[in-house]
Structures are given as C-alpha cells and as structure tokens.
Structure 1
Amino acid sequence: MRVVIAEGNALLRQGIVLLLSSAGHDVVGVVGTGPEILPALLEHRPDVAVLDLRMPPEFRDEGLRAALEARQRIPGLPVLVLSRCVEESYAAKLLADGARGVGYLVKDRVGRVDEFLDALERVAAGGTALDPAVVGELLTRRRDSPLDLLTPREREVLALMAEGYDNVTIAKTLVIAARSVSKHIGNIFLKLRLPPSDSGHRRVLAVLAFRNNSQASGSSH
C-alpha cells in the first residue's frame, strides 16, 4: 500500500514512517508543513494519506483543508486525519465531504499499533475509521433527538458502526448473534428515518443522519 504522510511533529512523523514501513507499506511521500501536503498528494496519488490536522506554519486546520481539497482534485482519495484531541467540528467537516474512505483518529491511537494499522487499511479499502472518542462526541451532542429513541443495545451497535466495523466484528465485540446485529441496524435506520436500503458507506450514515438532524434542531431555536 502506497502512503503519503504529513505530520508536523518530527518525532511522530518518523515513528509513523517506521511503523508503516515495518508493516510492509510503501511510504512514497513525507512532508512536515501544510503547504507541502497538496503538492505531495497530487504528485504521488497514494493509496491512502495520513494527515496531521494542525500543521506548521499556522497550526490551525492545514491538514483538514488539504484533505478536502485533495479529495476534490483526486475523487475518492482515502484520507486518515490525526488530531491531538477530539475536535468534533473538524471531524464533521471531513465526514460531510463524504463518508467513504475517510478516517479521523486521536493521535494516541497511533501507539496502539494493531488498531492504527487496522484503521488505515479500512480507510484505504474505502471504509471508515472514527475514533471511539469522536463517536462519543457525535452521539452525545444534543438531547431531544431521534437518538433518544434507540435502546442501549442499539446505541452500542451504532457506535461500533460509526467506528467502521462490519456486522461480524460487531457481533463478536458485543457477544451477540450476527442476525441480532442485522436486526438492530434495521431498527437504527428506521428510527433515524434512514432507509435500510442505503448502500455503500452506510456504516456511518446513521451517525451522519443524527448529526445533521441535531444541527437542524439547533438552528431552529
């Protein structure tokens, strides 16, 4: 897998390079500042990009802006954004760009090597990978929302869906039958008014539907 890495911290940047190289991936580009990101992505057109959210020189949202622009210039480019802490508004912008082939992880997750590599591979394959902390922020933003209609078990299933896990993994994690997972997902889509016939990246569509409903509710007050 060909990877471009953009990370402002030199030590972490080198650590990610070594980690991915050791895992058998081909690191084709490495940059340390915001202005370098887009040219590197356009030049190498990697299988997946790992981008720091805040990059020099301004340490604002350089990585996110580069990710969004790159996905416009290279449709479907898989992007995994790393952030020092949970910043829900930035995660929402990335998801709004299209849920297929995107990921948002807190940097601490990189230290959990297996989880990080698994997330990277899911994103590269066109799936999603949301940090559990990000999912938690999305799911607890507002009260009096359609989410309140979900049972505790359905909320658990929804959280794992949003993290990018498939039905089999969800079943194993919650120690329930796969058919029960399918039933819960059907209920989730129904309660959030999201047709179960939606295809493709529906692992996060329920979370997106909830988020959009929350925004709409907030703007009406």
Structure 2
Amino acid sequence: MRIVIAEDSALLREGLVQILHKFGHEVAAAVDNAPSLLAAVRDHSPDLAVVDVRLPPGFKDEGVQAAVALRQEHPDLAVLLLSQYLEADYAAELLETGSAGAGYLLKDRVGDVLDFLGSVQRVADGGTVIDPEIVRRLLSRRRGHSSARALTPRETEVLALMAEGRSNAAIATELKVSHAAVAKHIGNIFEKLGLHSTGAEHRRVLAVLAYLKR
C-alpha cells in the first residue's frame, strides 16, 4: 500500500514512517504542513493519506480542510485523520465527502501498533473507523435524553463498535455472540435512537454521529 503522511510532530511522523515500513507499506512522502500534503498526493497518487487534524500554518483545522479538498479532487483516496482532541464534527465532515475509506483516531491509538495497523488497513479497504472514545464521550453527554438512557450496556458496546466501522460479523466475534444477536441489537439501537437503518457503512456511522451530536 502506498501512503502519504502529514504530521507536524517530527517524532510522531518518523514513528509512523517506521511502523508502516516495518509492516510492508510504502510511505511515498512524509510532510509537515497542508500545502505539502496537497502536493504530495498529486505527485504520488497514494492509496491512503494519514493526516494530522491540526497542521501549520494555523494549527486549527488545516489538516481536515486539506483532507476534504483531496477527497473532492481524488474521490477514491482513503483518508485517516489523527488528532489529540475529540471533535466529532471533524469525523462527520470527512465522512460526508465521499464513499472511499475514512477514519478518525486519537493519536493515543498509534501506541497500540497492531490496532493502529488494523485501522489503517480497514480504511484503505474502504471501511470506516471512528475512535470509540468519541462515541463514549458523546453518548455520556446524551444520557439525559430518554432514548440514550434506553440503550442497554450491550447495545452501547455494539454502538461503539459500529462507530469503529466494524461489520456485524466482526462485532459478533468481538463480543462472542451470534450474528443474529448483533443484528437484533443494531435494530434496537436504531429504533431507540430514532434512526433509519441502512446498508451503507458511512451512512450508518454518520447517523450515529448525527444523533450523538444533537
């Protein structure tokens, strides 16, 4: 897999390069700012861009805006955003730009190398990965709402795994339950949250994020 990295921290940038190289991926470019990211993607046509949310020169949302611009220019480009902060809006903004793989992870996740590599592969394969901590934090804010309170502990677990982009089969394996049980839990979640179920993975995750942000 050919990858372009945009990360302003030299230490983390080099760490990402080493991890990805070690596990057989090609890092075509590793840059530290948004303009260089745009140029690198145009020059190298990567399969995946790993992008820090906040990049020079403003250290606000330059990485997100660059990622959105790249997805408009290259609809098949998979993008994995990394951040120190929990910002569900950034995740939603990226997911709304197209159907290619997309993800939003906290930088702490990079420390679990195998988990991080699994997320990289899932996004590159066209899947969706949203850090489960985002779902947990947002859900905790919604606890006063009757529909959020109605979720059982198991349904909350399933909801977090859905946001990670896990398939029904993967959720069943993780929780050691049957596929039928997972389907039932997901049906209950959508009913309790007042959401319409859909087979489209991005839209399923977007529906969850939209509800939790309300």
Same fold? TM cut 0.5: yes
Match of 2:91 in 1: 91
Q: Which amino acid aligns with 1:208?
A: L
Unaligned runs of 5+ in 2: none
3-state SS of 1:3 partner: strand
* Alpha-carbon contact 2:6-2:50 (below 8 Å) kept: yes
What's the offset of the Cα at 1:173? 2.3
Match of 1:67 in 2: 67
Percent of counterpart pairs with the same letter? 54
What's the offset of the Cα at 1:196? 3.3
- Please tell me whether residue 159 in structure 1 is matched to residue 160 in structure 2: yes
Alignment of 1:39-188 (within 5 A): 39-98=39-98, 100-142=100-142, 143-144=144-145, 146-188=147-189
Residues 44-100 of structure 1 show CA distances to partners (whole Å, capped at 9, x for unaligned) of 221111001111222111111100111111113210011123233323332343575
Q: Which amino acid aligns with 1:174?
A: L
* Alpha-carbon contact 1:78-1:101 (below 8 Å) kept: yes
Q: Which amino acid aligns with 2:164?
A: E
Q: Which amino acid aligns with 2:155?
A: E
For residues 210 and 100 of structure 2, what CA distance do their matches in structure 1 show?
Answer: 15
For residues 208 and 59 of structure 1, what CA distance do their matches in structure 2 show?
Answer: 24
For residues 71 and 118 of structure 2, what CA distance do their matches in structure 1 show?
Answer: 22
**Superposition TM-score, scaled by structure 2 size:** 0.89
What's the offset of the Cα at 1:193? 3.4
RMSD: 2.0
* Alpha-carbon contact 1:34-1:62 (below 8 Å) kept: yes
3-state SS of 1:136 partner: helix
What's the offset of the Cα at 1:169? 2.4
Unaligned runs of 5+ in 1: 215-221
**Superposition TM-score, scaled by structure 1 size:** 0.87
Query: Structure 1 residues 86, 196: CA separation in 2 closer, same or farther (over 3 Å shift)?
Result: closer
Q: Which amino acid aligns with 2:108?
A: D
- Please tell me whether residue 190 in structure 1 is matched to residue 163 in structure 2: no
Aligned residue pairs, count: 213
Match of 1:218 in 2: none
